[in-house]
């Protein structure tokens, strides 16, 4: 992704690994501060996933793969059995971080599968590191292809609603929902992006807006409950969101509030697209009822981070001290509200059970 730092534009990936160290953009500090953090072992990498220094299904998956690679590189020398046990413990640690984004589980399981056939510790290290890098390369290529296919759905002059952040920060680059938008902008189409703030962590207001600003893409941040207003006024022509897990029937888990936007789009006759790679489809989940939904701490609802008039980052409470809160991180959008899926294999239309299986089964 393109990042402007002190007047100079540089290209960054969201996460990458050099030697045994995982490097990533700390998304908790954006948009007010751009900082790269370094994670020295799988425990630090797992914590970065848990505390949302990195977030977004694709980026989480790649980060988890790198965490397994770190474990393989740092495992004590000794027997193959001890090596495998060490790596499997790292896998348990990483899988326990966040339950909904299936990319994480796919990535870890792929690394574990290549380990099964290894006959020496050295072979295990080499194959796991190679698999982690392959997962990262596939993530990058998939997000690029999603942009190419999705661009065809965007017309000159369109207003496009997004929810949460499914941009380059959520993958290695390009993103999913933002990838078609990037391609449309670079093709010279005049578009305007309506950016849902996405409470409670405000990934839209903080991250999506920041990414669009870096690219010079016309956008406006709106509060979450303003989307219907702009739809009814004819200012929004399509909705594009990402996904954290897609069941085999097309039911889709994404950031909390996505379901509401899909219903509004249907009511207003606006196409609702989900942009996601193969890694986000969970063919073992028959419907949205099989998708685990993460519930995070109530403090994310009760408190917000921001920068005051002096430029100092502060956390302030916005609810009464004794009022409890609930905080589901995701909801499930039934397949009937989804116009199509934008994937690296092309656009998938209904009937979803047959066409998803045909594409990824």
CB hemisphere CA count around 13 (13 angstroms): 18
Identified catalytic residue from 196, 244, 282, 331: 244
For residues 243 and 255, what is the distance between their CA atoms, to the nearest angstrom? Answer: 8
Instruction: Single out the residue of 132, 346, 166 nearest to residue 240, CA to CA.
Output: 166
Tens digits of residue pLDDT in 167-190 = 999 998 999 999 999 999 999 999
Closest CA to 90 of 76, 101, 102: 76
- Site of tokens 């990936």: 13
* 31 three-class SS: coil
pLDDT score at 137: 96
109 has pLDDT over 80: yes
Give the tens place of pLDDT for each residue, 129-147: 999 999 999 999 999 999 9
Q: Let me know if 244 is a catalytic residue.
A: yes
Q: How many other C-beta atoms lie within 10 A of the C-beta of residue 201?
A: 25
> Would you place residue 6 in the very low, low, confident or very high pLDDT band (cuts 50, 70, 90)?
confident
Instruction: In whole angstroms, give the CA distance from residue 175 to residue 180.
Output: 9
CA-CA-CA-CA torsion for 179, 348, 291, 92, nearest 10 degrees? Answer: -60
Q: What's the pLDDT score for residue 361?
A: 80
pLDDT at 157 exceeding the cut of 80: yes
Distance between CA atoms of 265 and 232, rounded to whole angstroms? 10
Q: Residues 68, 133: contact at Cβ < 8 Å?
A: no
Q: For position 5, what pLDDT does the model report?
A: 79
Enter the tokens of residue 173. 């680059």
Sorted by sequence, the CB contacts under 8 Å of residue 264 that are 6+ apart come out as: 227, 228, 231, 270
Q: What is the pLDDT of residues 94-105, one digit of tens each?
A: 999 999 989 999
Is the pLDDT at 32 greater than 80? The verdict is: yes
Give the model confidence (pLDDT) of 263-301 as tens digits.
999 999 999 999 999 999 999 999 999 999 999 999 999
Q: Which domains does the chain have, with CATH numbers?
A: 2-143 (1.20.120.420), 153-360 (3.40.50.10470)
Which pTM does this prediction carry? 0.94
Task: Label residue 7 by pLDDT band (50, 70, 90).
Answer: confident
pLDDT of 78: 81
Beta strand extents in 269-312 (DSSP E only): 272-275, 281-282, 303-307
Q: Please say if the pLDDT value at position 1 is more than 90.
A: no
pLDDT in tens, 195-235: 999 999 999 999 999 999 999 999 999 999 999 999 999 99
- Give the burial class of 157: count Cβ atoms within 10 A of its Cβ; 0-12 exposed, 13-18 middle, 19 or more buried: exposed
CA 170/CA 204 separation, integer angstroms: 12
CA nearest 31: which of 305, 336, 324, 295? 305
């Amino acid at each position: 992704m393109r990042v402007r730092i002190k007047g100079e534009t540089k290209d960054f990936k969201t996460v990458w690994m050099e030697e045994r160290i995982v490097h990533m953009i700390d998304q908790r500090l954006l948009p007010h501060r751009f900082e790269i953090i370094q994670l020295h072992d799988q425990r630090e990498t797992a914590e970065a996933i848990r505390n949302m220094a990195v977030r977004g299904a694709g980026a989480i998956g790649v980060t988890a793969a790198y965490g397994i690679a770190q474990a393989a590189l740092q495992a004590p020398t000794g027997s193959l059995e001890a090596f495998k046990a060490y790596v499997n413990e790292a896998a348990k640690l990483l899988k326990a971080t966040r339950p909904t984004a299936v990319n994480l589980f796919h990535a870890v399981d792929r690394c574990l599968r290549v380990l099964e056939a290894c006959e020496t510790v050295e072979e295990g290290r080499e194959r796991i590191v190679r698999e982690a890098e392959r997962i990262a390369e596939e993530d990058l290529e998939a997000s690029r292809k999603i942009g190419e296919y999705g661009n065809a759905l965007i017309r000159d002059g369109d207003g496009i609603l997004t929810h949460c952040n499914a941009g380059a920060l959520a993958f290695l680059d390009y993103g999913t929902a933002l990838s078609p938008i990037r391609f449309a902008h670079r093709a010279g189409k005049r578009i305007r992006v309506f950016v849902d703030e996405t409470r409670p962590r405000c990934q839209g207001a903080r991250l999506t807006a920041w990414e669009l600003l870096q690219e010079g893409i016309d956008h406006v941040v709106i509060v979450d409950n303003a989307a219907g207003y702009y739809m009814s006024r004819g200012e929004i022509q399509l909705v594009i969101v990402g996904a954290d897990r897609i069941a085999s029937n097309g039911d889709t888990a994404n950031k909390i509030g996505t379901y509401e936007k899909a219903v509004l789009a249907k009511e207003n006759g606006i196409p609702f697209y989900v942009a996601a790679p193969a890694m986000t489809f969970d063919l073992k989940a028959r419907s949205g009822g099989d998708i685990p939904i993460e519930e995070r701490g109530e403090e994310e609802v009760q408190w917000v981070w921001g920068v005051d008039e002096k430029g100092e980052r502060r956390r302030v409470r916005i609810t009464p001290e004794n009022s409890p809160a609930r905080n589901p991180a995701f909801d499930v959008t039934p397949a009937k509200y989804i116009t199509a899926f934008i994937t690296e294999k092309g656009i998938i239309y209904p009937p979803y059970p047959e066409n998803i299986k045909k594409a990824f089964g």
